[in-house]
Chain A
Amino acid sequence: MEITINYYVILSCILFCIGVLGFIIRRNLLICFMSIELMLNSVNLLFVAYSHFLKTSLGLMYVFFIMAVAAAEVSIGLAIIIMLFRLKGTVDMDKLNILKG
Protein backbone atom coordinates (compact mmCIF):
# COMPACT_ATOMS: atom_id res chain seq x y z
CA MET A 1 0.00 0.00 0.00
CA GLU A 2 1.36 3.35 -0.95
CA ILE A 3 1.34 6.13 1.63
CA THR A 4 -0.04 9.24 -0.06
CA ILE A 5 -0.09 12.84 1.08
CA ASN A 6 -3.66 12.44 2.30
CA TYR A 7 -2.57 10.24 5.23
CA TYR A 8 -0.31 13.01 6.48
CA VAL A 9 -2.95 15.68 5.98
CA ILE A 10 -5.50 13.66 7.93
CA LEU A 11 -3.00 12.83 10.68
CA SER A 12 -2.04 16.45 11.19
CA CYS A 13 -5.67 17.54 11.11
CA ILE A 14 -6.45 14.99 13.84
CA LEU A 15 -3.50 16.23 15.92
CA PHE A 16 -4.65 19.81 15.40
CA CYS A 17 -8.18 18.97 16.53
CA ILE A 18 -6.84 17.23 19.64
CA GLY A 19 -4.95 20.42 20.39
CA VAL A 20 -8.06 22.57 19.90
CA LEU A 21 -10.15 20.28 22.11
CA GLY A 22 -7.48 20.29 24.80
CA PHE A 23 -7.35 24.07 24.68
CA ILE A 24 -11.11 24.37 25.04
CA ILE A 25 -11.78 21.62 27.59
CA ARG A 26 -8.85 21.68 30.01
CA ARG A 27 -8.85 24.32 32.75
CA ASN A 28 -5.19 24.20 33.72
CA LEU A 29 -3.23 26.97 32.02
CA LEU A 30 -0.15 24.78 31.55
CA ILE A 31 -2.15 22.09 29.78
CA CYS A 32 -3.81 24.72 27.56
CA PHE A 33 -0.39 25.96 26.76
CA MET A 34 0.79 22.47 25.82
CA SER A 35 -2.27 22.08 23.60
CA ILE A 36 -1.22 25.18 21.66
CA GLU A 37 2.22 23.63 21.20
CA LEU A 38 0.56 20.47 19.90
CA MET A 39 -1.37 22.57 17.37
CA LEU A 40 1.83 24.25 16.19
CA ASN A 41 3.59 20.91 15.86
CA SER A 42 0.77 19.44 13.83
CA VAL A 43 1.20 22.40 11.46
CA ASN A 44 4.92 21.58 11.32
CA LEU A 45 4.11 18.00 10.36
CA LEU A 46 1.85 19.23 7.58
CA PHE A 47 4.58 21.54 6.25
CA VAL A 48 7.15 18.73 6.22
CA ALA A 49 4.75 16.37 4.47
CA TYR A 50 3.83 18.90 1.79
CA SER A 51 7.47 19.80 1.38
CA HIS A 52 8.35 16.15 0.76
CA PHE A 53 5.56 15.54 -1.73
CA LEU A 54 5.91 18.84 -3.59
CA LYS A 55 9.71 18.53 -3.70
CA THR A 56 10.30 22.13 -2.60
CA SER A 57 12.30 23.19 0.42
CA LEU A 58 10.14 26.15 1.46
CA GLY A 59 8.09 23.99 3.83
CA LEU A 60 11.21 22.92 5.72
CA MET A 61 12.17 26.59 6.09
CA TYR A 62 8.76 27.28 7.57
CA VAL A 63 9.29 24.52 10.12
CA PHE A 64 12.50 26.11 11.36
CA PHE A 65 10.89 29.53 11.66
CA ILE A 66 7.83 28.11 13.42
CA MET A 67 10.02 26.22 15.89
CA ALA A 68 11.99 29.38 16.68
CA VAL A 69 8.85 31.46 17.12
CA ALA A 70 7.24 28.73 19.25
CA ALA A 71 10.29 28.77 21.52
CA ALA A 72 9.96 32.54 21.95
CA GLU A 73 6.26 32.10 22.64
CA VAL A 74 6.98 29.47 25.30
CA SER A 75 9.38 31.75 27.13
CA ILE A 76 6.88 34.60 27.20
CA GLY A 77 3.94 32.37 28.09
CA LEU A 78 5.75 30.68 30.98
CA ALA A 79 6.89 34.08 32.27
CA ILE A 80 3.29 35.31 32.31
CA ILE A 81 2.12 32.09 34.02
CA ILE A 82 4.81 32.51 36.70
CA MET A 83 3.78 36.11 37.36
CA LEU A 84 0.16 34.99 37.61
CA PHE A 85 1.10 32.24 40.05
CA ARG A 86 3.02 34.71 42.21
CA LEU A 87 0.03 37.04 42.44
CA LYS A 88 -2.79 34.51 42.74
CA GLY A 89 -1.20 31.23 43.82
CA THR A 90 -3.04 29.23 41.18
CA VAL A 91 -2.86 28.41 37.47
CA ASP A 92 -6.54 27.60 37.10
CA MET A 93 -8.18 29.27 34.13
CA ASP A 94 -11.49 29.77 35.97
CA LYS A 95 -9.73 31.98 38.50
CA LEU A 96 -9.01 34.54 35.78
CA ASN A 97 -12.21 36.39 36.60
CA ILE A 98 -11.42 39.93 37.69
CA LEU A 99 -12.06 41.40 34.27
CA LYS A 100 -15.64 40.93 33.17
CA GLY A 101 -18.77 42.89 32.35
Chain B
Amino acid sequence: MGELNINFWSIAPQLVLICFGFLLMLIGGYTKVSKSGYLGQISALGIALAFMVNIYLFGSRKLGFSNIILFDELVGIFNAIFFVSGFLVCLLSDNYIEGKIKHTGEYYALILFAIAGMSFMVSALDFLILFLGLEMMSLSIYVLAGLFKQSERSIESAMKYFLLGSFSTAIFLLGVAFLYGAFGTTNFAYMLQHFTKYFMDGKSLPLLMGSALVFSGIVFKIAAVPFHMWTPDVYEGAPTTVTAFMATAVKAAAFSMLFRVYLLGLRGVVVDYAGIIAYLAVFTMTLGNLSALAQKSVKRMLAYSSIAHAGYLLVGFTSLNQIGLGAVIFYLISYALMNIGAFAIISFFEKETHSTELNHLSGKGFKHPFLGFMMVIFMFSLAGVPPTSGFAGKFYIFTGAIQSGYVSLAIIGVLNSAISAYYYLRVLVYMYFKDAEEPISNINISAPQVVAILISAIGVLNIGVLPGKLFDLTIKSVSFLF
Protein backbone atom coordinates (compact mmCIF):
# COMPACT_ATOMS: atom_id res chain seq x y z
CA MET B 1 0.00 0.00 0.00
CA GLY B 2 2.17 2.84 -1.21
CA GLU B 3 5.78 3.50 -0.39
CA LEU B 4 7.16 3.65 3.12
CA ASN B 5 7.02 7.35 3.95
CA ILE B 6 8.42 7.65 7.43
CA ASN B 7 7.60 11.12 8.68
CA PHE B 8 8.74 11.69 12.23
CA TRP B 9 6.95 15.06 12.36
CA SER B 10 3.65 13.20 12.51
CA ILE B 11 4.57 11.74 15.91
CA ALA B 12 6.78 14.55 17.23
CA PRO B 13 4.68 15.39 20.35
CA GLN B 14 4.55 11.72 21.36
CA LEU B 15 8.33 11.37 20.91
CA VAL B 16 8.92 14.30 23.28
CA LEU B 17 6.65 12.72 25.89
CA ILE B 18 8.28 9.29 25.63
CA CYS B 19 11.79 10.77 25.92
CA PHE B 20 10.76 12.67 29.04
CA GLY B 21 9.11 9.54 30.44
CA PHE B 22 12.35 7.57 30.20
CA LEU B 23 14.28 10.55 31.55
CA LEU B 24 11.98 10.72 34.59
CA MET B 25 12.40 7.01 35.33
CA LEU B 26 16.16 7.47 35.14
CA ILE B 27 16.24 10.57 37.35
CA GLY B 28 13.77 9.00 39.75
CA GLY B 29 16.02 5.98 40.13
CA TYR B 30 19.10 8.05 40.89
CA THR B 31 17.65 10.59 43.34
CA LYS B 32 17.05 10.09 47.05
CA VAL B 33 13.42 9.49 47.92
CA SER B 34 13.40 12.52 50.23
CA LYS B 35 14.62 14.85 47.49
CA SER B 36 12.33 13.82 44.65
CA GLY B 37 9.94 16.77 45.02
CA TYR B 38 10.92 18.42 41.75
CA LEU B 39 10.01 15.44 39.52
CA GLY B 40 6.50 16.79 39.08
CA GLN B 41 7.87 20.03 37.68
CA ILE B 42 10.14 18.13 35.26
CA SER B 43 7.22 16.11 33.94
CA ALA B 44 5.13 19.28 33.63
CA LEU B 45 8.00 20.80 31.67
CA GLY B 46 8.05 17.76 29.36
CA ILE B 47 4.32 18.04 28.73
CA ALA B 48 4.66 21.81 28.14
CA LEU B 49 7.37 21.09 25.54
CA ALA B 50 5.16 18.56 23.80
CA PHE B 51 2.38 21.16 23.84
CA MET B 52 4.71 23.67 22.17
CA VAL B 53 5.58 21.14 19.45
CA ASN B 54 1.87 20.52 19.03
CA ILE B 55 1.19 24.25 18.58
CA TYR B 56 4.10 24.52 16.14
CA LEU B 57 2.63 21.71 14.03
CA PHE B 58 -0.97 22.89 14.39
CA GLY B 59 -2.61 23.77 11.10
CA SER B 60 -0.40 21.51 9.01
CA ARG B 61 -1.31 18.02 7.84
CA LYS B 62 1.33 15.34 8.25
CA LEU B 63 0.87 11.79 7.06
CA GLY B 64 3.46 9.24 8.07
CA PHE B 65 4.52 5.60 8.40
CA SER B 66 2.83 4.18 5.27
CA ASN B 67 -0.33 6.22 5.88
CA ILE B 68 -1.14 4.79 9.27
CA ILE B 69 -0.47 7.92 11.33
CA LEU B 70 -2.01 11.28 10.62
CA PHE B 71 -1.50 14.65 12.27
CA ASP B 72 -4.27 17.11 11.43
CA GLU B 73 -6.21 19.81 13.25
CA LEU B 74 -8.48 17.32 15.01
CA VAL B 75 -5.42 15.52 16.39
CA GLY B 76 -3.89 18.85 17.38
CA ILE B 77 -6.89 19.92 19.39
CA PHE B 78 -7.35 16.53 21.09
CA ASN B 79 -3.63 16.51 21.90
CA ALA B 80 -4.10 19.89 23.54
CA ILE B 81 -6.81 18.44 25.80
CA PHE B 82 -4.60 15.51 26.85
CA PHE B 83 -1.57 17.72 27.42
CA VAL B 84 -3.41 20.34 29.46
CA SER B 85 -5.03 17.76 31.72
CA GLY B 86 -1.74 15.89 32.11
CA PHE B 87 0.08 19.14 32.89
CA LEU B 88 -2.43 20.12 35.57
CA VAL B 89 -2.41 16.63 37.11
CA CYS B 90 1.41 16.59 37.28
CA LEU B 91 1.43 19.93 39.08
CA LEU B 92 -1.37 18.89 41.45
CA SER B 93 0.19 15.56 42.41
CA ASP B 94 3.04 17.45 44.05
CA ASN B 95 2.41 16.82 47.74
CA TYR B 96 -0.67 14.64 47.41
CA ILE B 97 1.38 11.53 46.59
CA GLU B 98 4.18 12.42 49.01
CA GLY B 99 4.72 9.64 51.51
CA LYS B 100 2.20 7.36 49.80
CA ILE B 101 4.33 6.48 46.78
CA LYS B 102 7.97 5.79 47.43
CA HIS B 103 9.42 6.22 43.96
CA THR B 104 7.58 9.17 42.46
CA GLY B 105 9.56 9.01 39.21
CA GLU B 106 7.47 6.02 38.13
CA TYR B 107 4.24 7.84 38.80
CA TYR B 108 5.08 10.78 36.55
CA ALA B 109 6.64 8.56 33.88
CA LEU B 110 3.43 6.51 33.73
CA ILE B 111 1.37 9.67 33.30
CA LEU B 112 3.58 10.73 30.39
CA PHE B 113 3.36 7.28 28.77
CA ALA B 114 -0.41 7.30 29.15
CA ILE B 115 -0.62 10.69 27.43
CA ALA B 116 1.65 9.46 24.62
CA GLY B 117 -0.68 6.46 24.21
CA MET B 118 -3.73 8.72 23.96
CA SER B 119 -1.92 10.84 21.42
CA PHE B 120 -1.22 7.74 19.32
CA MET B 121 -4.87 6.73 19.58
CA VAL B 122 -6.13 9.98 18.16
CA SER B 123 -3.52 10.11 15.38
CA ALA B 124 -4.19 6.53 14.28
CA LEU B 125 -5.38 5.92 10.76
CA ASP B 126 -5.28 2.17 11.26
CA PHE B 127 -6.79 -0.15 13.86
CA LEU B 128 -3.34 -1.53 14.63
CA ILE B 129 -2.04 1.82 15.87
CA LEU B 130 -5.34 2.56 17.57
CA PHE B 131 -5.10 -0.72 19.48
CA LEU B 132 -1.47 -0.17 20.48
CA GLY B 133 -2.20 3.37 21.65
CA LEU B 134 -5.23 2.15 23.58
CA GLU B 135 -3.17 -0.49 25.34
CA MET B 136 -0.32 1.92 26.03
CA MET B 137 -2.82 4.19 27.74
CA SER B 138 -4.78 1.48 29.56
CA LEU B 139 -1.79 -0.44 30.92
CA SER B 140 -0.33 2.77 32.35
CA ILE B 141 -3.64 3.70 33.96
CA TYR B 142 -4.12 0.23 35.50
CA VAL B 143 -0.79 0.67 37.28
CA LEU B 144 -1.50 4.28 38.26
CA ALA B 145 -4.83 3.29 39.84
CA GLY B 146 -3.07 0.76 42.08
CA LEU B 147 -0.04 2.83 42.95
CA PHE B 148 -0.99 3.40 46.62
CA LYS B 149 0.29 -0.04 47.53
CA GLN B 150 -0.73 0.12 51.19
CA SER B 151 -4.32 1.08 50.53
CA GLU B 152 -6.84 -1.70 50.02
CA ARG B 153 -9.16 0.66 48.18
CA SER B 154 -6.52 1.58 45.63
CA ILE B 155 -5.59 -2.05 44.92
CA GLU B 156 -9.21 -3.08 44.68
CA SER B 157 -9.96 -0.35 42.19
CA ALA B 158 -6.89 -1.29 40.13
CA MET B 159 -7.99 -4.94 40.10
CA LYS B 160 -11.53 -4.10 39.00
CA TYR B 161 -10.32 -1.68 36.34
CA PHE B 162 -7.77 -4.18 35.08
CA LEU B 163 -10.19 -7.11 34.80
CA LEU B 164 -12.98 -5.19 33.10
CA GLY B 165 -10.57 -3.16 30.98
CA SER B 166 -8.85 -6.20 29.52
CA PHE B 167 -12.23 -7.88 29.03
CA SER B 168 -13.37 -4.91 26.94
CA THR B 169 -10.08 -4.89 25.05
CA ALA B 170 -10.67 -8.52 24.06
CA ILE B 171 -14.15 -7.64 22.77
CA PHE B 172 -12.71 -4.69 20.85
CA LEU B 173 -10.07 -6.94 19.29
CA LEU B 174 -12.63 -9.52 18.22
CA GLY B 175 -14.41 -6.69 16.42
CA VAL B 176 -11.19 -5.64 14.73
CA ALA B 177 -10.60 -9.24 13.62
CA PHE B 178 -14.04 -9.38 11.99
CA LEU B 179 -13.45 -6.06 10.25
CA TYR B 180 -10.13 -7.38 9.00
CA GLY B 181 -11.92 -10.42 7.67
CA ALA B 182 -14.46 -8.23 5.86
CA PHE B 183 -12.06 -5.69 4.34
CA GLY B 184 -8.74 -7.50 4.16
CA THR B 185 -7.14 -4.44 5.70
CA THR B 186 -7.76 -2.24 8.73
CA ASN B 187 -6.83 1.12 7.26
CA PHE B 188 -9.51 3.75 7.95
CA ALA B 189 -9.04 5.56 4.64
CA TYR B 190 -9.48 2.30 2.69
CA MET B 191 -12.52 1.31 4.76
CA LEU B 192 -14.13 4.70 4.17
CA GLN B 193 -13.62 4.43 0.41
CA HIS B 194 -14.75 0.86 -0.09
CA PHE B 195 -17.46 0.55 2.53
CA THR B 196 -20.49 0.24 0.26
CA LYS B 197 -18.72 -2.11 -2.12
CA TYR B 198 -17.93 -4.60 0.65
CA PHE B 199 -21.31 -4.11 2.25
CA MET B 200 -23.07 -5.09 -0.98
CA ASP B 201 -20.56 -7.85 -1.63
CA GLY B 202 -22.16 -10.31 0.79
CA LYS B 203 -19.67 -9.47 3.49
CA SER B 204 -22.17 -7.54 5.54
CA LEU B 205 -22.32 -10.02 8.45
CA PRO B 206 -18.68 -9.85 9.60
CA LEU B 207 -18.77 -6.13 8.86
CA LEU B 208 -21.77 -5.47 11.07
CA MET B 209 -20.54 -7.78 13.84
CA GLY B 210 -17.14 -6.14 13.74
CA SER B 211 -18.49 -2.64 13.95
CA ALA B 212 -20.87 -3.53 16.79
CA LEU B 213 -18.12 -5.23 18.84
CA VAL B 214 -15.72 -2.33 18.30
CA PHE B 215 -18.49 0.03 19.31
CA SER B 216 -19.10 -1.78 22.61
CA GLY B 217 -15.36 -1.70 23.33
CA ILE B 218 -15.41 2.07 22.86
CA VAL B 219 -18.57 2.54 24.94
CA PHE B 220 -16.84 0.74 27.78
CA LYS B 221 -13.97 3.23 27.73
CA ILE B 222 -16.39 6.16 27.57
CA ALA B 223 -18.19 4.67 30.61
CA ALA B 224 -21.66 5.02 29.11
CA VAL B 225 -24.64 2.83 30.01
CA PRO B 226 -24.71 -0.25 29.82
CA PHE B 227 -20.95 -0.54 30.39
CA HIS B 228 -20.67 2.01 33.21
CA MET B 229 -20.67 -0.25 36.27
CA TRP B 230 -16.92 -0.13 36.82
CA THR B 231 -16.71 3.68 36.90
CA PRO B 232 -17.83 4.58 40.45
CA ASP B 233 -15.77 1.86 42.12
CA VAL B 234 -12.63 2.56 40.14
CA TYR B 235 -12.89 6.33 40.44
CA GLU B 236 -13.53 6.16 44.17
CA GLY B 237 -10.70 3.81 45.01
CA ALA B 238 -7.94 5.26 42.83
CA PRO B 239 -5.69 8.08 44.12
CA THR B 240 -7.64 11.33 43.64
CA THR B 241 -5.16 12.88 41.22
CA VAL B 242 -5.29 9.72 39.10
CA THR B 243 -9.09 9.84 39.22
CA ALA B 244 -8.94 13.40 37.90
CA PHE B 245 -6.74 12.16 35.07
CA MET B 246 -9.04 9.21 34.29
CA ALA B 247 -12.19 11.32 34.33
CA THR B 248 -10.80 13.90 31.90
CA ALA B 249 -7.96 12.74 29.66
CA VAL B 250 -9.01 9.09 29.35
CA LYS B 251 -12.58 10.09 28.61
CA ALA B 252 -11.39 12.54 25.95
CA ALA B 253 -9.24 9.77 24.45
CA ALA B 254 -12.23 7.45 24.31
CA PHE B 255 -14.23 10.11 22.51
CA SER B 256 -11.36 10.62 20.09
CA MET B 257 -11.68 6.90 19.27
CA LEU B 258 -15.35 7.42 18.55
CA PHE B 259 -14.44 10.28 16.18
CA ARG B 260 -11.69 8.34 14.42
CA VAL B 261 -13.48 5.01 14.03
CA TYR B 262 -17.05 6.05 13.38
CA LEU B 263 -16.58 9.27 11.45
CA LEU B 264 -13.57 8.18 9.44
CA GLY B 265 -13.36 4.39 9.09
CA LEU B 266 -16.89 3.10 9.50
CA ARG B 267 -18.73 6.18 8.33
CA GLY B 268 -21.23 3.94 6.56
CA VAL B 269 -22.82 2.65 9.76
CA VAL B 270 -22.76 5.85 11.79
CA VAL B 271 -26.17 7.05 10.66
CA ASP B 272 -27.70 3.76 11.82
CA TYR B 273 -25.79 4.05 15.07
CA ALA B 274 -27.01 7.59 15.76
CA GLY B 275 -30.38 6.21 16.94
CA ILE B 276 -28.69 3.76 19.31
CA ILE B 277 -26.32 6.44 20.58
CA ALA B 278 -29.31 8.72 21.26
CA TYR B 279 -30.86 6.08 23.54
CA LEU B 280 -27.51 5.43 25.21
CA ALA B 281 -27.15 9.17 25.80
CA VAL B 282 -30.56 9.42 27.48
CA PHE B 283 -29.96 6.44 29.76
CA THR B 284 -26.40 7.52 30.55
CA MET B 285 -27.38 11.06 31.55
CA THR B 286 -30.38 10.03 33.60
CA LEU B 287 -28.76 7.13 35.39
CA GLY B 288 -25.60 9.10 36.15
CA ASN B 289 -27.51 12.05 37.58
CA LEU B 290 -30.03 10.03 39.59
CA SER B 291 -27.31 7.86 41.15
CA ALA B 292 -25.20 10.91 41.96
CA LEU B 293 -28.06 12.33 44.03
CA ALA B 294 -27.77 9.56 46.60
CA GLN B 295 -24.01 9.64 47.17
CA LYS B 296 -22.39 10.44 50.52
CA SER B 297 -18.83 10.66 49.20
CA VAL B 298 -17.94 13.63 47.02
CA LYS B 299 -15.49 11.56 45.02
CA ARG B 300 -18.09 8.92 44.23
CA MET B 301 -20.59 11.65 43.41
CA LEU B 302 -18.15 13.13 40.89
CA ALA B 303 -17.67 9.64 39.43
CA TYR B 304 -21.41 9.36 38.77
CA SER B 305 -21.40 12.92 37.47
CA SER B 306 -18.69 11.93 34.99
CA ILE B 307 -21.08 9.24 33.69
CA ALA B 308 -23.74 11.95 33.30
CA HIS B 309 -21.31 14.19 31.43
CA ALA B 310 -20.51 11.29 29.09
CA GLY B 311 -24.24 11.30 28.34
CA TYR B 312 -24.21 15.01 27.40
CA LEU B 313 -21.21 14.40 25.17
CA LEU B 314 -23.02 11.53 23.44
CA VAL B 315 -25.93 13.91 22.75
CA GLY B 316 -23.46 16.12 20.87
CA PHE B 317 -22.16 13.12 18.95
CA THR B 318 -25.68 11.99 18.02
CA SER B 319 -26.45 15.23 16.21
CA LEU B 320 -23.67 14.46 13.66
CA ASN B 321 -23.51 18.04 12.40
CA GLN B 322 -20.68 20.50 12.54
CA ILE B 323 -21.99 22.37 15.58
CA GLY B 324 -22.71 19.20 17.54
CA LEU B 325 -19.33 17.58 16.87
CA GLY B 326 -17.47 20.86 17.46
CA ALA B 327 -19.41 21.22 20.70
CA VAL B 328 -18.28 17.75 21.85
CA ILE B 329 -14.65 18.83 21.60
CA PHE B 330 -15.44 22.19 23.19
CA TYR B 331 -17.23 20.45 26.06
CA LEU B 332 -14.33 18.02 26.54
CA ILE B 333 -11.97 20.99 26.96
CA SER B 334 -14.17 22.79 29.47
CA TYR B 335 -14.99 19.54 31.28
CA ALA B 336 -11.29 18.76 31.65
CA LEU B 337 -10.60 22.14 33.26
CA MET B 338 -13.52 22.16 35.68
CA ASN B 339 -13.28 18.52 36.69
CA ILE B 340 -9.55 18.60 37.39
CA GLY B 341 -10.14 21.71 39.50
CA ALA B 342 -12.90 20.04 41.51
CA PHE B 343 -10.90 16.84 42.08
CA ALA B 344 -7.86 18.91 43.07
CA ILE B 345 -9.74 20.68 45.85
CA ILE B 346 -11.15 17.37 47.08
CA SER B 347 -7.62 15.96 47.13
CA PHE B 348 -6.45 18.83 49.40
CA PHE B 349 -9.25 18.23 51.88
CA GLU B 350 -8.68 14.48 51.64
CA LYS B 351 -5.04 14.94 52.62
CA GLU B 352 -6.23 16.68 55.77
CA THR B 353 -9.20 14.58 56.86
CA HIS B 354 -8.35 11.23 55.14
CA SER B 355 -11.88 11.04 53.86
CA THR B 356 -13.95 12.25 50.94
CA GLU B 357 -17.28 12.17 52.77
CA LEU B 358 -19.57 15.11 52.18
CA ASN B 359 -20.01 15.95 55.88
CA HIS B 360 -16.27 16.29 56.35
CA LEU B 361 -16.49 19.33 54.08
CA SER B 362 -18.84 21.19 56.43
CA GLY B 363 -17.70 24.65 57.37
CA LYS B 364 -14.60 24.47 55.16
CA GLY B 365 -15.71 27.28 52.83
CA PHE B 366 -15.18 30.18 55.24
CA LYS B 367 -12.10 28.69 56.86
CA HIS B 368 -10.27 28.26 53.57
CA PRO B 369 -11.57 31.20 51.53
CA PHE B 370 -9.35 30.60 48.47
CA LEU B 371 -10.22 26.91 48.10
CA GLY B 372 -13.85 27.61 48.89
CA PHE B 373 -14.14 30.28 46.22
CA MET B 374 -12.45 28.04 43.63
CA MET B 375 -14.85 25.21 44.52
CA VAL B 376 -17.75 27.61 43.90
CA ILE B 377 -16.44 28.31 40.38
CA PHE B 378 -15.92 24.63 39.54
CA MET B 379 -19.25 23.47 40.95
CA PHE B 380 -21.14 26.23 39.14
CA SER B 381 -19.39 25.26 35.95
CA LEU B 382 -20.16 21.54 36.39
CA ALA B 383 -23.80 22.44 37.02
CA GLY B 384 -23.84 24.67 33.92
CA VAL B 385 -24.46 28.09 35.46
CA PRO B 386 -24.05 30.94 32.90
CA PRO B 387 -20.77 32.80 33.24
CA THR B 388 -18.78 29.55 33.22
CA SER B 389 -17.53 27.22 30.49
CA GLY B 390 -19.93 24.44 31.54
CA PHE B 391 -22.85 26.58 30.44
CA ALA B 392 -21.30 27.46 27.08
CA GLY B 393 -20.52 23.78 26.40
CA LYS B 394 -24.02 22.59 27.19
CA PHE B 395 -25.50 25.44 25.17
CA TYR B 396 -23.57 24.46 22.03
CA ILE B 397 -24.26 20.74 22.48
CA PHE B 398 -28.02 21.24 22.78
CA THR B 399 -27.98 23.73 19.88
CA GLY B 400 -26.39 21.05 17.71
CA ALA B 401 -28.99 18.49 18.80
CA ILE B 402 -31.87 20.87 18.01
CA GLN B 403 -30.40 21.66 14.59
CA SER B 404 -30.42 17.95 13.72
CA GLY B 405 -34.01 17.61 14.89
CA TYR B 406 -33.35 15.85 18.18
CA VAL B 407 -35.50 18.33 20.16
CA SER B 408 -36.62 15.74 22.73
CA LEU B 409 -33.01 14.80 23.37
CA ALA B 410 -32.16 18.43 24.08
CA ILE B 411 -35.12 18.76 26.46
CA ILE B 412 -34.11 15.62 28.38
CA GLY B 413 -30.57 17.00 28.55
CA VAL B 414 -31.71 20.33 30.00
CA LEU B 415 -33.93 18.58 32.56
CA ASN B 416 -30.98 16.41 33.52
CA SER B 417 -28.72 19.36 34.06
CA ALA B 418 -31.41 20.84 36.31
CA ILE B 419 -31.31 17.65 38.40
CA SER B 420 -27.54 17.80 38.51
CA ALA B 421 -27.59 21.32 39.95
CA TYR B 422 -29.03 19.83 43.16
CA TYR B 423 -26.06 17.65 43.99
CA TYR B 424 -23.42 20.08 42.82
CA LEU B 425 -24.86 22.92 44.89
CA ARG B 426 -25.27 20.60 47.89
CA VAL B 427 -21.47 20.49 48.11
CA LEU B 428 -21.44 24.30 48.42
CA VAL B 429 -24.25 24.20 50.99
CA TYR B 430 -22.14 21.86 53.12
CA MET B 431 -19.06 24.05 52.68
CA TYR B 432 -20.71 27.38 53.51
CA PHE B 433 -23.90 26.85 55.49
CA LYS B 434 -23.05 24.03 57.88
CA ASP B 435 -20.98 24.31 61.03
CA ALA B 436 -17.73 22.44 61.19
CA GLU B 437 -17.84 19.18 63.13
CA GLU B 438 -14.18 19.03 63.93
CA PRO B 439 -11.47 21.61 64.63
CA ILE B 440 -10.11 22.82 61.33
CA SER B 441 -6.41 22.36 60.74
CA ASN B 442 -4.22 24.04 58.19
CA ILE B 443 -4.02 22.75 54.66
CA ASN B 444 -0.61 22.66 53.13
CA ILE B 445 -0.78 23.70 49.48
CA SER B 446 2.40 24.06 47.47
CA ALA B 447 3.05 26.71 44.82
CA PRO B 448 2.62 24.37 41.79
CA GLN B 449 -0.77 23.31 43.13
CA VAL B 450 -1.91 26.93 43.47
CA VAL B 451 -0.75 27.58 39.91
CA ALA B 452 -2.64 24.55 38.60
CA ILE B 453 -5.87 25.55 40.38
CA LEU B 454 -5.58 29.12 39.13
CA ILE B 455 -4.99 27.92 35.56
CA SER B 456 -8.11 25.77 35.63
CA ALA B 457 -10.27 28.46 37.28
CA ILE B 458 -9.14 31.18 34.87
CA GLY B 459 -9.62 28.76 31.99
CA VAL B 460 -13.16 27.95 33.09
CA LEU B 461 -14.11 31.64 33.42
CA ASN B 462 -12.30 32.72 30.27
CA ILE B 463 -13.92 30.06 28.08
CA GLY B 464 -17.24 30.78 29.74
CA VAL B 465 -17.19 34.52 29.11
CA LEU B 466 -15.60 34.44 25.63
CA PRO B 467 -16.44 31.06 24.12
CA GLY B 468 -16.53 32.22 20.49
CA LYS B 469 -12.88 31.94 19.55
CA LEU B 470 -12.36 28.44 20.94
CA PHE B 471 -15.63 27.24 19.48
CA ASP B 472 -14.63 28.48 16.01
CA LEU B 473 -11.41 26.52 16.38
CA THR B 474 -13.21 23.31 17.35
CA ILE B 475 -15.68 23.72 14.50
CA LYS B 476 -12.83 24.21 12.07
CA SER B 477 -11.11 21.06 13.32
CA VAL B 478 -14.12 18.89 12.44
CA SER B 479 -14.89 20.66 9.17
CA PHE B 480 -12.99 18.06 7.10
CA LEU B 481 -15.75 15.58 7.90
CA PHE B 482 -18.39 17.53 6.03
- The interface of chain A, by Cβ under 8 A from chain B, is 5, 9, 12, 16, 19, 23, 29, 32-33, 36, 39-40, 42-43, 46-47, 50, 54, 56, 58-59, 61-62, 65-66, 69, 72-73, 76-77, 80-81, 83-84, 87-88, 96, 98-101
Contacts and interface: CB of A to CB of B under 8 A. Distances in A.
Contacts of A62: 128, 176-177, 180
B177 A56 contact: no
A47 B295 CA distance: 45
Interface in B139-173: 139, 142-143, 146, 149-150, 152-153, 155-160, 162-163, 166-167, 170-171, 173
B152 A47 contact: no
Contacts of A83: 146, 149, 155, 158
Contact of B174 (A23, A46, A76): A46
A88 B152 contact: yes
Interface in B117-144: 128, 131-132, 135, 139, 142-143
Contacts of A16: 170, 174
Contacts of A99: 153, 156-157, 160, 232-233, 236-237
B449 interface: no
Contact of A32 (B131, B163, B186): B163
Given A9-B181, A72-B139, A80 B158 contact: yes
- Residue picked from B146, B160, B162, B300, most chain A C-beta under 10 Å: B162
Contact of B167 (A36, A43, A66, A76): A36
B152 A58 contact: no
B185 interface: yes
A70 B275 CA distance: 35
A76 B174 CA distance: 22
Nearest to B186: A58
A34 B185 CA distance: 29
B170 A36 contact: yes
Nearest to A66: B173
B233 A100 contact: yes
Contact of B156 (A36, A58, A66, A84): A84
Interface residues on B, range: 35 or more
B242 to A, nearest CB: 14
Contacts of A29: 159, 163
Given A81-B159, A99-B236, A58 B166 contact: no
9 contacts: A16-B174, A29-B163, A33-B163, A36-B170, A47-B177, A84-B159, A88-B152, A98-B156, A98-B237
Nearest to A32: B163
Contacts of A72: 135, 139
A77 B173 CA distance: 19
Given A50-B177, A54-B181, A73 B163 contact: no
A65 B174 contact: no
A1 to B, nearest CB: 22
A9 B167 CA distance: 20
Interface string B297-313: 10010000000000000
A43 B167 CA distance: 12
Given A23-B167, A61-B128, A80-B158, A50 B173 contact: no
Contacts of B162: 76-77, 80
B184 interface: yes
Contact of A56 (B135, B159, B185): B185
Contacts of B149: 83
Nearest to B296: A101
B408 to A, nearest CB: 31
Contacts of A32: 163
Contacts of A88: 152
- Residue picked from A40, A43, A87, A100, most chain B C-beta under 10 Å: A43
Contacts of B166: 36, 73, 77
Contact of A47 (B132, B160, B180, B184): B180
